[in-house]
Amino acid sequence: MSDVYMERVLDLMLQLLAIDSPSGQETNMRIDLSKRLSRLGLSTETDSAGNLYGRLTATPGLEQAPTILLNCHMDTVPTAANVKPQVREGILYSDGTTALGADDKGGITALLMALESIIQSKSPHGAIVVLFTVSEETGLAGARQADMTRLGAIDRGYTLDASGPVGTVMFCAPFKSQADVVFHGKSAHAGFAPEKGISAISIAARAIDRMSLLRIDAETTANIGSIQGGAGTNIVCDRVEVVLETRSRVQSKMKAQIAHMRICCEEAVAALGGGFDFLVEQLYPGYHIPQEDPSLAVIKQACEKLGLPFRIIETGGGSDANILRAQGIPLVVLSVGYSGPHTSEESLPLKELDNLVRLLIELLTAQEAC
């Protein structure tokens, strides 16, 4: 890679990092990306949720070639705001006070650079569709509201949204459910008549103490995300809200874990009194791509041609692909090259950005694709 080329890649990445886009506040990022896609010659449109769609027509004579979808999310976690990026020894970091936001601005950067390279070099390609979603970090909300009619028929697709070296493919991702639990106690004065009260905090504490949490097995996890309740030390708390989640690459295990957590709540109420509400929602479905699937073979062939290490792994995280695959869009999740996402230690080697650009160009212009 030439110094001039990498300067352009880095400059684009820095421009995107300068646009704060936490979940729910992607407007400025969407406007910027819409302009960039339009300058490249793509038609663009936005749906009511704020998702951005772009379409590049096929090279004349290749209208029957497979249509390929490229997908990234525009939002970041809240801690990736006011980022002050630094480059040290060829690796991009924040200054340590924020997350970097390479998740998913690294993916967006590579996507835009790959499109620019294909268009400027007039490389032959089939139709290319782009989907930039909103609110991925808050339960894949943007993908849930994506308009499938705007995407049209997709033959292959790539979601650029995972940590790890470029060439890594997620072939299996979990199902995820979330439960909003409200424990109901009875208020009383904590000094005059505590025995007349039922502490919702005590109910919640007993229930949580009996739950199997964190790593359940190789395929399943569970976590308490937040607890809220109480108004003062002199009042026996009568209401506590708990938000919890469980995810597993085996749907029956996810359901069993949710059932276990509900039973823990029932037992706590039986022991201490009071009551509880337990509202469960499946946030997204899991998926499993057979290792002999042709889409994986295409990626493997491209990696081998470019000298990139190819590997397929399971993941414990969700992405837009979880939602869109359930809608019949054959997306495969590709690693972007970053590490430490959502933390102040997040980093992205510039070499990995270059690798992802090269891989995307190969996937979009390979003879198999056209």
Catalytic residues: 75, 136
What are the Cα distances from residue 44, in Å, to 53, 113, 130, 141, 360?
Answer: 5, 17, 9, 21, 20
Interatomic CA distance for residues 343 and 48, integer angstroms: 31
The pairing of strands 287-288 and 239-248 is unpaired
Bin 11: left if φ > 0, else alpha if -120 < ψ < 50, else beta: alpha
What are phi and psi for residue 267, nearest 5 degrees?
Answer: -65, -35
Interatomic CA distance for residues 78 and 93, integer angstroms: 17
DSSP state at residue 57: P
Q: Residue 333: beta bridge partners?
A: 159, 170
Interatomic CA distance for residues 128 and 333, integer angstroms: 17
Amino acid at 21: S
Interatomic CA distance for residues 312 and 296, integer angstroms: 9
Non-local (6+) Cβ contacts of 274 within 8 A are 183, 184, 185, 186, 198, 200, 203
Buried b / exposed e across 358-367, counting CB within 10 Å, b at 16+? Answer: bbbbbbbbee
For residue 143, how many C-alpha atoms fall within 13 Å in the half-sphere facing its CB?
28
**Peptide bond before 155: cis, by omega within 30 degrees of 0?**
no
**Peptide bond before 104: cis, by omega within 30 degrees of 0?**
yes
For residue 323, how many C-alpha atoms fall within 13 Å in the half-sphere facing its CB?
19
Buried b / exposed e across 203-235, counting CB within 10 Å, b at 16+? Answer: bbbbbbebbebeebeebbbbebeebebeeeeeb
